[in-house]
Amino acid sequence: MENSLDPVPSLLEVRGISKSFGAVRALQEVDFTLRAGEIHALLGENGAGKSTLIKVITGVFPRDAGIVRLGGAEVAPRSAKAALQAGIATVYQEVNLLPNLSVAQNLFLDRQPMRFGIVREAEMRRRAKTLLAGFGLDIDVAAPLGSYSVAVQHVTAIARAVDLSARVLILDEPTASLDRHEVEILFNIMRQLAGRGIGIVFVSHFLDQVYEISDRITVLRNGRLVGERETASLPRLELIRMMLGRELAETTSARAATREHQAREVCASFENYGKAGYVAPFDLELRHGEVVGLAGLLGSGRTETARLVFGAERADRGQARVEGASVRLHTPRDGVRHGFGYCPEERKTDGIVADLTVRENIVLALQAKRGLHRPLSRREQDEIARRYVKMLDIRPADPERPVGLLSGGNQQKVLLARWLATSPRLLVLDEPTRGIDVGAHAEIIRLIRDLCDDGLALLVISSELDEIVTYSDRVVVLRDRAHVDELTGEAIDVTNILAAIAADGAAAVAHEGRA
Amino acid sequence: MTALLPRRGLAQILALIVILAVDRVVSPQFFDLRLQDGRLFGSLIDVLNRGTPVALLSLGMVLVIATRGIDLSVGAVMAISGAIAASLADSHGLAVVLAAALGAGLLCGLWNGFLVSVLGMQPIVATLILMVAGRGIAQLITEGRIVTFTSPDLVWLGNGAVLGLPVPVAIALGMLILTGAVVRGSALGLLIEATGGNARASELAGVGTRAMILAVYVWCGVCAALAGVIAAADIMGADANNAGLWLELDAILAVVIGGTSLFGGRFSLILAVLGALIIQTMNTGILLSGYPPEFNLLVKAVVVLAVLLLQSPKLPGLAGIAARLRRAKA
Amino acid sequence: MKGLPPVLITAIVLVAGFALCAVQFPNIASTRVVGNLLTDNAFLGIVATGMTFVIISGGIDLSVGSVIGFTTVFVALAIERWGVPPLVAFVAVLALSAAFGAAMGAVIHVFDLPPFIVTLAGMFLARGASFLLSTESVPITAPVYSTVSDFALRLPGGGRLTAIAIIMLLIVIGGALLLHLTRFGANVYALGGSRATASLMGVAVGKMTVKIYMLSSFLAGIAGIVFSFYTSAGYSLSAVGVELDTIAAVVIGGTLLTGGQGSVIGTFLGVLIQGLIQTYINFDGTLSSWWTKIATGVLLFAFIALQQALVAVARRPVARSAGAAS
């Protein structure tokens, strides 16, 4: 019935997919349609639900609701292997092949040509050679895959998938570590495969590439479908708005009255600070009692800036100052010593120590700062934990519970507490509201404001532009791993930020020329 | 202090009681104690005395395992320190002997820690090197002979008595208290558990994870060296071939029985020592029951399998029930 | 960028070492010494071949020494006490050891436990079982033993290629063929690369794990039989610590202890290097046997450090191209 409205037959139809992880709703009734022979970009910020959607389609995660149809027939693969057999292949950014095996073995693992129980090595290599030649690749297929560039590895993975008669090819950030020439090669292959009727899902945060290669675009945000458009008729500003903005209505921000920030004292400053191949040199001043928002698309250099500022990554140029004195920020310990705190985006892998209790997680940074020989007594620990559990309303209010058992929002609060306990002068928060339910979301934002009023300097990254507008005194906009604009005062609104992110042409070209 | 003896020790204590009861059945005199020449004698004291080397090893091993590591070289380190102690015993004072032997253990620990924390080698790979070479080094020191000594000081260390307890037992007790005081009295315990639980996150919280890892291997080396000295003092000689042979496996087993996960994180010193005692109580029981001592290995194998299966992530059964009970109590 | 493959380095070390030894003791360069070297290390070569499969697949097998010990006792008792024909005893013990390995592999896979600790339990179990059988050394007097011991191919120069050396060479060749030419072999490497990815690419990871440990224990069983030929006795304490020599031979042979890379030929060369050190020490007369362990440890460190460096180098280009993309 739906199909009758659609002149082009759909290859892959996803209808009403929902998926929750505990209290967090990762996907809510998402629809997605892929036609045969099209290249369809799937876009959204981190946490928008792209990878969850892919994993639900390919059976890595079981789904809570919804159906998936492939070529009109309903499919419900229960593993990535089963999805592959059904004809849905995924190539991830970190190529899921075996770098220690030869290219040929990778292409034909478990289906090598055999004779008398012996792998026909020469025949396998010949076939591998022919297969890759079809993708414009002429390499020594006997060499280990790991000795080749990521581009070759991607092409090999794609070749394997196609040779296994995949009808749907999902490419998850395939271009993230390719150079321009390699991207061209990959795009040619994608076009060629689309020409053969294969449907390609292209996940990428490089909008230029999306415009260059895709036929249609589907945007997800916060686990919901925002829309599906023809690429050719979708202006870039509109696309970014779909990804970042809440409503099209020009909400000129419900933020508190602009405060005079120039008078405030500088807490930390960075001059010409940067690292080659990581983020271009930038100037940044962070003042007491001021929130600086970092806005930009995924991969624009937001997290990279945060890590340099904290000392999690070592800058190779520029000068950092704290309260006017020049300092060295080479390791997280340096950052902690100078009164910095950093709540990373990946809470589970980089933030919490899941097995330890709420109390132990809260006192961890303070204890590390004090050093081994000045342990916090159990009473002091209890005191600190109780204070912050109460102050941040961490639930359940049991400091002895392993933090891994708490919800995402409460884990985030524990991380905040960890840094607040060190009485920091600067807090760097990377996506502090990601993956957190609505109630906790509002609380965290209120907290950010409160902390700022207490004189803390804050550097906050968020993909939610509304959110950034709400609490920021200044907004630094990033694009292509460089700081490209800074908005202050009345200029801070969603429209201006979007414009700065989307601004094409001169600035971007100038930057590329330099690189 | 609850930090020293977590609530989860119940299973280990029960296991020990059951094994003790079985021992009592096979040997009615098992619980008999008598005082003679100012020293207690009896099967229980015997268990403690013989369990000392593994208990000492497990004190170091448990910290290493808490950081997601493993130290295969402790048996070889025992051989080295025992060889040094025996070679010096009759020509130097006890202080020099101890300093040299423990210093050697410290160096061995530094070497292992350097390979793991600075060069980033896998612990099992890194410590394998010393496991292989260490015994050769010990034989080099003893020149392949069994070096005997008569130094009364060192002999006392293995066979004397303090307050009625055999000296090795007193030393092990002292080391347990010392390690407990250092680890739980300073912030070391918390930082080690954090490092083992999530090294990346701990690093970002400002914890010097590399220093932690280096420190636990050094401590493990020192504990192994002390165990080696005691083993040598016990037999009044150093046998580089057999001293501490396979004890690294017993030490790992003790830690695992003590409930510390091989995947790092939470650890308990007391339970690791309890694990060592459980192993020794079984050994002694088998001995008393008239089976050949070699029968131990079979029992050990069964225990390893049982403990592993209980801890297996794929078998949530018992662990889940225990957790629920604990929650219900809380 | 890739430099020398580790197995070539092993070969160079062996040849250079052999040349050095031969310069000092010209007698070493004789077929007699080489023949003895092969005979003395026959059981090690066999068990190391199995260990190579295990380590390349990302595992480790600590039970092999105990399995050898068990095999010698079982074979000796079966032939001498129970009156079983030797061939039947061999088949029975090989079936037992293969089943034992399969069980360890199954436990590792099904319960997702570290191979290190599972095979440690296996080590205790097999050693304990052999103690249960007998704690004394049981001499084997069956005629087939003297026949096999007496059999040898004459080599030019007076050397003897004994039956057990021939068995070892055949198994090394067979192992190399199995590892490098069959689908099974390719899957072993795949498992060592990444179990998860291998599974995704269609490899039956569980079955492979069972088969790999089965192979290792089976070869340990053969090594045990060979060992009983070598000593003409069964003793429950035989081959104590052989697992360490075996692992060392595999690593010195250029196999990555973390899995994914290696070769049976390299392992064979690693066994020969250990044998050469032993031979040199025997010739020297003043050096003592502990130098074997120290030399092995030094070589072990050198190869592990080398591999660490190679892995670090191999990772670098990826990082570079990632940087260039921005």
Predicted ipTM of the assembly: 0.82
Minimum distance, in Å, between the CA of residue C290 and any CA atom of chain A: 37
pLDDT greater than 80 at residue A303? yes
Q: Are A255 and A467 in contact (CB under 8 A)?
A: no
Q: What is the pLDDT of residues C210-227, one digit of tens each?
A: 999 999 999 999 999 999
* Euclidean distance between CA atoms B106 and B109, whole angstroms: 5
Number of compact structural domains in chain C: 1
B249 SS3 class: helix
Number of compact structural domains in chain A: 3
Domain ranges of chain B: 38-293
CATH number at residue A83: 3.40.50.300
Residues A206 and A272 in one domain: no
Confidence of residue C2 (pLDDT cuts 50, 70, 90): very low
Choice between A436 and B170, residue whose per-residue pLDDT is larger: B170
Minimum distance, in Å, between the CA of residue C123 and any CA atom of chain B: 8
pLDDT for B330: 41
In sequence order, the 6+-apart residues with CB closer than 8 A to the CB of A334 are A311, A327, A328
Confidence of residue B312 (pLDDT cuts 50, 70, 90): low
**Cβ of C201 and A100 within 8 Å?**
no
Here the tokens at position B236 are: 């009044």
Q: What is the pLDDT of residues B71-105, one digit of tens each?
A: 999 999 999 999 999 999 888 889 999 999 999 99
Q: Which residues pair with A18 in a beta bridge?
A: A65
pLDDT over 90, % of chain A: 26
Chain C hits for B139, CB-CB cut-off 8 Å, are 288-290, 293
DSSP run (H or E) holding B210: helix B209-235
pLDDT for C314: 61
Q: What is the pLDDT of residues A214-231, one digit of tens each?
A: 999 999 988 889 889 999
- Tell me which residues of chain B, numbers 118 to 157, contact chain A at a CB-CB cutoff of 8 Å: none
Residue A215 lies in a domain: yes
Residue C321 lies in a domain: no
State the DSSP string of B152-208: HHHHHHHH-EETBEEHHHHHHHHHHHHHHHHHHHSSHHHHHHHHHH-HHHHHHTT--
Residues A306 and A203 in one domain: no
Distance of alpha carbon C190 from its chain centroid, rounded? 21
Of C117, C236, C301, the CB nearest to B129: C301
Q: Is the pTM of this model over 0.90?
A: no
In sequence order, the 6+-apart residues with CB closer than 8 A to the CB of A241 are A248, A498
Q: Beta strand pairing status for A39-43 and A24-35?
A: unpaired
* Euclidean distance between CA atoms C79 and A276, whole angstroms: 73
Q: Beta strand pairing status for C138-139 and C233-234?
A: antiparallel
In sequence order, the 6+-apart residues with CB closer than 8 A to the CB of B124 are B70, B72, C60, C116, C257
Residues A229 and A261 in one domain: no
Confidence of residue B314 (pLDDT cuts 50, 70, 90): low
Residues A68 and A158 in one domain: yes
Choice between B211 and A260, residue whose per-residue pLDDT is larger: B211
Q: What is the 3-state secondary structure (H, E, C) of A454-478?
A: CCCEEEEECCCHHHHHHHCCEEEEE
Q: Cis (ω within 30 of 0) for the bond into B166?
A: no
pLDDT for B311: 66
Chain A hits for B205, CB-CB cut-off 8 Å, are 332, 336, 364-365, 368, 418
Which chain C residues have any C-beta within 8 angstroms of a chain A C-beta?
Answer: 1-2, 177, 181-183, 185-187, 189-190, 192-194, 197-203, 260-261, 314, 317-318, 321-326
Print the domain residue range for A473. 249-339+425-515
Task: Indicate the range of A95-109, A301-315, C42-56 predicted with least confidence.
Answer: A95-109
Here the tokens at position A90 are: 């995924």
* Euclidean distance between CA atoms C166 and C179, whole angstroms: 20
- The CATH class of B38-293 is mainly alpha
Residue C326 lies in a domain: no
* Euclidean distance between CA atoms C108 and C114, whole angstroms: 7
Q: Beta strand pairing status for C160-162 and C152-154?
A: antiparallel
* Euclidean distance between CA atoms A164 and A90, whole angstroms: 12
pLDDT for A8: 60
- Of these ranges, A45-54, A328-337, B239-248, C303-312, the one predicted with the greatest mean pLDDT is A328-337
Q: Are B160 and B169 in contact (CB under 8 A)?
A: no
**Residue labelled with tokens 């016990």:** B234
Mean pLDDT of A448-467: 86
- Tell me which residues of chain A, numbers 335 to 354, contact chain C at a CB-CB cutoff of 8 Å: none
Mean pLDDT of B49-65: 95
Average pLDDT for chain B: 86
Q: How many CB atoms lie within 10 A of CB B24?
A: 15
A217 SS3 class: strand
pLDDT for B315: 52
Residue C16 lies in a domain: yes
Q: Are B182 and A373 in contact (CB under 8 A)?
A: no
Q: What is the pLDDT of residues C115-151, one digit of tens each?
A: 988 898 898 899 888 888 888 888 888 888 888 888 8
Q: What is the pLDDT of residues B154-208, one digit of tens each?
A: 889 888 888 888 999 999 999 999 999 999 888 899 999 999 999 999 999 999 9
Which amino acid type is present at position B171? I
Residues A310 and A382 in one domain: no
Which residue of chain B comes nearest to A333, CA vs CA? B206
φ, ψ dihedrals at A306, nearest 5°: -60, -45
pLDDT for C106: 94
Distance of alpha carbon B258 from its chain centroid, rounded? 11
Average pLDDT for chain A: 84
Which residue of chain A comes nearest to C188, CA vs CA? A101
DSSP run (H or E) holding A28: strand A24-35
**Helices B43-66, B209-235: crossing angle, 10 deg rounding:** 160
**Cβ of B197 and A356 within 8 Å?**
yes
A270 SS3 class: strand
Best residue in A93, A100, A175 to probe C by mutation, most C CBs within 10 Å? A100
Print the domain residue range for C309. 6-316
pLDDT greater than 50 at residue A508? no
pLDDT greater than 80 at residue B53? yes
Does the beta carbon of A253 lie under 8 angstroms from any beta carbon of chain C?
Answer: no
**Cβ of A147 and C187 within 8 Å?**
no
Residue A138 lies in a domain: no
Residue A371 lies in a domain: yes
Which residue of chain A comes nearest to C197, CA vs CA? A96
pLDDT greater than 80 at residue A47? no
**Cβ of B133 and C60 within 8 Å?**
no
* Euclidean distance between CA atoms B91 and B160, whole angstroms: 21
pLDDT for B164: 84
Residue A254 lies in a domain: yes
pLDDT for C215: 97
Choice between B10 and C41, residue whose per-residue pLDDT is larger: C41
Q: Which residues pair with A458 in a beta bridge?
A: A291, A427
pLDDT for A272: 92
Residues A96 and A222 in one domain: yes
Task: Indicate the range of A259-263, A438-442, B116-120 predicted with least confidence.
Answer: A259-263
Check the CA dihedral C27-C29-C30-C33 and report its sign.
Answer: positive
Residues A197 and A210 in one domain: yes
Residues A355 and A488 in one domain: no
pLDDT for A453: 85
Residue C91 lies in a domain: yes
Residue C323 lies in a domain: no
Here the tokens at position A279 are: 């983020």
Q: How many CB atoms lie within 10 A of CB A130?
A: 10
Q: Are C70 and C85 in contact (CB under 8 A)?
A: no
Best residue in B198, B219, B263, B267 to probe A by mutation, most A CBs within 10 Å? B198
pLDDT for C68: 95
Does the beta carbon of C256 lie under 8 angstroms from any beta carbon of chain B?
Answer: no
Domain's final residue, options A179, A202, A234? A234
In sequence order, the 6+-apart residues with CB closer than 8 A to the CB of A249 are none
Mean pLDDT of A104-117: 87
Residues A157 and A226 in one domain: yes
Q: What is the pLDDT of residues A354-371, one digit of tens each?
A: 889 999 999 999 999 998
Residues A165 and A295 in one domain: no
Task: Indicate the range of A123-137, B220-234, C184-198 predicted with least confidence.
Answer: A123-137
**Cβ of B187 and A365 within 8 Å?**
no
Does the beta carbon of A405 lie under 8 angstroms from any beta carbon of chain C?
Answer: no
pLDDT for A154: 85
In sequence order, the 6+-apart residues with CB closer than 8 A to the CB of A405 are none
Residue C30 lies in a domain: yes
Residue A125 lies in a domain: no
* Euclidean distance between CA atoms B52 and A23, whole angstroms: 50
Neighbours of chain A (3+ CB pairs under 8 A): B, C
φ, ψ dihedrals at A49, nearest 5°: 115, 5
pLDDT greater than 70 at residue A515? no
Residues A227 and A274 in one domain: no
pLDDT for A281: 92
Does the beta carbon of A37 lie under 8 angstroms from any beta carbon of chain C?
Answer: no
Choice between B66 and C289, residue whose per-residue pLDDT is larger: B66
Task: Indicate the range of B280-284, C147-151, C242-246 predicted with least confidence.
Answer: C147-151
B278 SS3 class: helix
Judge residue A325's burial from the number of C-beta atoms within 10 Å of its C-beta, 0-12 exposed, 13-18 middle, 19 or more buried. Answer: exposed
Residues A318 and A403 in one domain: no
φ, ψ dihedrals at C229, nearest 5°: -65, -40
Does the beta carbon of A260 lie under 8 angstroms from any beta carbon of chain C?
Answer: no
- Tell me which residues of chain C, numbers 102 to 141, contact chain B at a CB-CB cutoff of 8 Å: 107, 110-114, 116-118, 120-125, 127-129, 131-132, 135
Choice between B142 and B37, residue whose per-residue pLDDT is larger: B142
Here the tokens at position A383 are: 């005191």
pLDDT for B6: 47
Mean pLDDT of A383-388: 92
pLDDT for B271: 92
Here the tokens at position C269 are: 């060369």
Burial string for C65-104 (b: 16+ CB within 10 Å, else e) reads bbbbbbbbbbbbbbbbeeebebeebbeebbebbbebbbbb
**Cβ of C326 and A81 within 8 Å?**
no
DSSP run (H or E) holding A274: strand A266-275
Mean pLDDT of B13-18: 86
* Euclidean distance between CA atoms A496 and B221, whole angstroms: 62
Minimum distance, in Å, between the CA of residue C178 and any CA atom of chain A: 9
**Cβ of C322 and A111 within 8 Å?**
no
CATH number at residue C114: 1.10.3470
**Cβ of B187 and A376 within 8 Å?**
yes
Confidence of residue C257 (pLDDT cuts 50, 70, 90): confident
